[in-house]
Amino acid sequence: IENLMKGRENASIIDLKMGVSTVTCNIVNNPKRMQKRLLKDSSTTTQKLGLKVIGYVIKNAQKKAEEKFYKWPYIQANDVAEVLRKIFCYPLPPKTADERQKTAHTFDPDNELKSKVAANRKLSKDESDIRVALEGHQQ
């Protein structure tokens, strides 16, 4: 992961191995390696989730690593969502129920619908203006 961080000093980076199997065509004729891969696939999140967290670095705004992980012990299936949330949410998500409650976004379906309708109307007007402009150029 360190080589991926070069030039990205403030980046949080995750290394995922994607797929439900790590068996490749170059080991199918090697029963010992095949068995080892199948065992690893079944004992990690590879088969269950179709991915395995190999490593990650989570950095704060001061470019300091708040959390690092590399390979062992592999992240368990019930912890993958939290790891992804930490990587893709900045600042880090609240850890306690009280912190989550304080920062919770209240979903208001009426407001959401109104804003989507307004956005669609604007897009329709923009599209209409563009068509009028194009028709003027075609004549």
Q: Where are the domains of the chain?
A: 2-94, 105-139
Listing DSSP states for 51-104 in one string gives EEEEEEEEE-TTS-EEEEEESSSPPPHHHHHHHHHHHHSSSPPP-SHHHHHHHP
pTM for this predicted structure: 0.54
C-alpha to C-alpha distance for 47 and 42, rounded to whole angstroms: 6
* Domain 2-94 class in CATH: alpha beta
Question: What pLDDT score does 32 carry?
Answer: 93
Q: What is the pLDDT of residues 90-121, one digit of tens each?
A: 555 566 777 766 666 555 656 666 766 776 67
Tokens for 77? 């299936």
Question: What pLDDT score does 89 carry?
Answer: 74
Tokens for 54? 């190999």
Residues of the chain with pLDDT under 70: 1-9, 90-95, 100-113, 115-116, 119-120, 123, 126, 136-139
